[in-house]
Amino acid sequence: MALELFDPHFHIWDAGESSCMDSTVIFKPNGKELYNTDDYERDMADCGMEHSGGVFIEAMSVCFKDKNPEQLNECCKEEGKWVIEQLSTSNKRYHVVLSACLEADNVEETLKDLKRLETPTVKVVGIRQILNFEPSWPRNTANLLENPNWVAGLKLLSKFDLSFDMQINVHQIEKAISVIKEVGPGVPIVINHIGCTTKSDLENEAHLYEQFSNLATLPQVFMKLSMMCYTDKEFHTNEAVGKLVAFLIKTFTPARCMFASNFPVDAKDGWPAKRLFDAYKTMVSALPEDHQQQLFSKTARTFYRA
């Protein structure tokens, strides 16, 4: 029986100058300004599994680095409205993780407005705000994990039944654990992209594995097995990457791990759907089929309440 793919991390966007996105940051997939639901589903048709839908992940938190948090929150609402309209045209099952600047003065009102965008078929289930600091992603001039206002905003997510997609660097894990403990189990957390592990991180294996082991002691923390081409463009031939993935699956268990496409980003980096998911399936080919099904769909459906 074919495996189901419920993809917990993909993007759609309009990179045109008149869109709500930042055309100076968002790239044009295959030279096209618009990458919509049809384009994404066309890409996933070649994944080698039964693609049933998935979870859109915001891209706004890398945009408009000159806007302050309160201003960017208005843009987050525009992205959410556009994305939900796009996904509503499909007969597949989709939910969305939108963005909000959690340190902003208007964060609670923003979260209310984002939840109001959902429809009977497309639910707003979580928030992501990219946190990578040193190396820093475009908007980050400080480590938001150390900002008390940001931590207070994270705590607010439980009030709106929202999870949090946490994208950080490996050296931020220790502080992230402290914050997650302070926030408590009411906000489910999923670490994006195997913690943005680098080749340098892989070289310090003992420290890397200790950090992930410590994260795994928190039952509300899940792990996305994705964007491995960030670690190594030819990750499928790197034994250290395969070993790390096996360690993460063993440590977090298949019930708390999920493979994801990260499309169209990974496609741009040389990993079309067939090549990407063939590599992922090879990594876990020795696991029982029920564990594989957890990794490719069931865990994501559980975490995102789909």
Structure tokens at 11: 């993007």
Distance, CA of 69 to chain centre:
20
CA distances from residue 58 to 9, 63, 80, 199, 232 in whole angstroms, order as listed: 9, 10, 8, 26, 24
Distance CA 9, CA 190 (A): 11
This model's pTM is above 0.95: yes
Strands 34-35 vs 13-14: parallel, antiparallel or unpaired:
antiparallel
- Ramachandran region, residue 164 (left: φ > 0; alpha: ψ -120 to 50; beta: rest): beta
Structure confidence at residue 1 (pLDDT): 62
Secondary structure tally for the chain: helices H, strands E: 13, 10
What does the CA dihedral 228, 231, 232, 238 come to, rounded to 10 degrees? -80
Backbone Cα Rg of the chain: 18
Predicted pLDDT at 158:
98
Name the one residue in this structure whose structure tokens are 């980003």. 265
Tally of CB atoms within 10 A around 109: 12
CA distance 17 to 157: 32
| 252 and 220 Cβ atoms separated by less than 8 Å | no
| 80: phi then psi, degrees, rounded to nearest 5 | -60, -45
Q: Which two tokens stand for residue 147?
A: 């900002």
What Cα–Cα distance (Å) separates residue 105 from each residue in 71, 145, 279?
Answer: 10, 17, 44
pLDDT tens, position by position, for the chain (306 residues)? 689 999 999 999 999 988 999 999 999 999 999 999 999 999 999 999 999 999 999 999 999 999 999 999 999 999 999 999 999 999 999 999 999 999 999 999 999 999 999 999 999 999 999 999 999 999 999 999 999 999 999 999 999 999 999 999 999 999 999 999 999 999 999 999 999 999 999 999 999 999 999 999 999 999 999 999 999 999 999 999 999 999 999 999 999 999 999 999 999 999 999 999 999 999 999 999 999 999 999 999 999 999
What's the pLDDT at 2?
85
